[in-house]
Amino acid sequence: MSIGPSPLRVAVVGGGIGGVAAANALLQRGMGVCLYEQAPALTEVGAGVAIQPNGARMLRRLGLGEELGRFGARWVDPQFRRPDGTYAAAMWPPELASKIEFYGMHRADLLAMFVDRLPAGVVHTGHRCIGFEQDDEQATLTFANGARATADVVIAADGIHSTLQQFVVAPSPPLFSGSVACRGLVSAASVAWPTGAMRNWLGAGKHFLVFPVRAGELINYVGFVSTDERTKESWSQPGDPAALAREFAGWDPLVEAIIAQVKTTFRWGLYDREPLANWTRGRLTLLGDAAHPMLPHAGQGANQAIEDGVALATVLSRADRTSAPRALLIYERLRREHTAGVQLKSRLNGARYEASSGDLGARDRQLAAQHQERAWIWNYDAEAEASAAAASL
């Protein structure tokens, strides 16, 4: 009796959204997965995230469509406003509202959707990766707790400060955007937030974004402000609600009402990186922020990480232990150029949102064309593209 090849053994380092998405996609395709996270539990400290059409497509492929509808808050009325509250543009025309699928989600809910699908024994918390080595046969990880693990493939999903990136390529230094952000959550009922509304108030050198999360129970706010101060690149640094209020004093009364509800806020400096020259070395590849950190102005960070996970699992499903390194290069070629384009789009959006001079009427017309400008991102099917790219394996 012939026995088929053993499934690939894949080690995922990092239990954020990209790591758990990749783990789900790999398991769905029959591979053996162990996920290693340095923290004592898989948790998210971030506030809101926008799941856009390309991300929603991948969540449905992973069997998470019902959870997306239950935990998400669908955007049906996304508008850009001026600081005084007057209308500037809609993100898409009303006739497309039923066709463009956008959801605001609490990051913790999104993470939990993935984690709840992982079988017992897959996740290993308290494992901080400190070393990596490989040969022609396998890769080996070393952890601060003394543990070691071997695998056929290692996926570095360990974030913007990736430990494993150095084993692939010289790290790309952080690029400060000249902007900091204060973010947090308040009750939607406390300000009578309209169901399904997204509002992005745009002013010179600053803007204030609000959208619903957790099935509309909460609203996520982010105040973006230009500064020369090199603020820490961290999700969890405490901010000052009074300073936030001063930055947006005199804006639309609804902005002031939201800020008045803020008891605690988090402040973080906005950085990204130039696209990396390589994502892959042998049996090790990068995913998510370890590969392509991006500014939040296109709302694509989580979506691109989820796409990475599905694309990588799709390619690896065609590989065996011998061809796995070649499969990782196919994944890199497929994703590196695409994500670099999204990184650039994020930078350009930030500059547009905070324009202080020029023809603002022309700017508003550009905002109204967002659904056309972003079609190449929203219509992208990462699974289909990966399947086609992997045909040569």
Q: State the pLDDT confidence band at 44, using cuts at 50, 70 and 90.
A: confident
Reported confidence tier of residue 257, pLDDT bands at 50, 70, 90: very high
């017309």: which residue's tokens? 365
How large is the average pLDDT for residues 278-288?
98
Residue 128 domain-assigned (yes or no): yes
Mean pLDDT along residues 208-231: 92
Is residue 3 scored above 60 in pLDDT? no
Asked if residue 221 belongs to a domain, the reply is: no
Instruction: Tally the domains of the chain.
Output: 1
Q: Is residue 383 part of a domain?
A: yes
With respect to residue 198, please indicate whether it lies within any of the assigned structural domains. no
Over 80: is that where the pLDDT of 149 sits? yes
**Has residue 83 been placed in a domain?**
yes
**241 found inside a domain:** no
Please say whether the beta carbons of 182 and 223 come within 8 A.
Answer: yes
Query: What's the rounded mean pLDDT across residues 49-62?
Result: 98
What phi, psi does 164 have (nearest 5°)?
A: -80, -15
Mean pLDDT (the chain) is: 93
The answer to whether residue 99 sits within a structural domain is yes
Q: What CATH number does the domain containing 109 carry?
A: 3.50.50.60
Residue 307 pLDDT greater than 60, yes or no? yes
Query: Structure pTM?
Result: 0.95
Average pLDDT over residues 281-309: 97
**Cβ 158 vs Cβ 13: under 8 Å:** yes
Q: Are strands 48-51 and 103-106 parallel, antiparallel or unpaired?
A: antiparallel
Determine, yes or no, domain membership for 217: no
* pLDDT score recorded for residue 153: 98
Q: Tell which residue, 147, 138, 139, has the closest CA to residue 164.
A: 139
47 HSE (CA, 13 A, CB side): 27
Residue 156 domain boundaries: 9-173+273-392
151 pLDDT exceeds 50?
Answer: yes
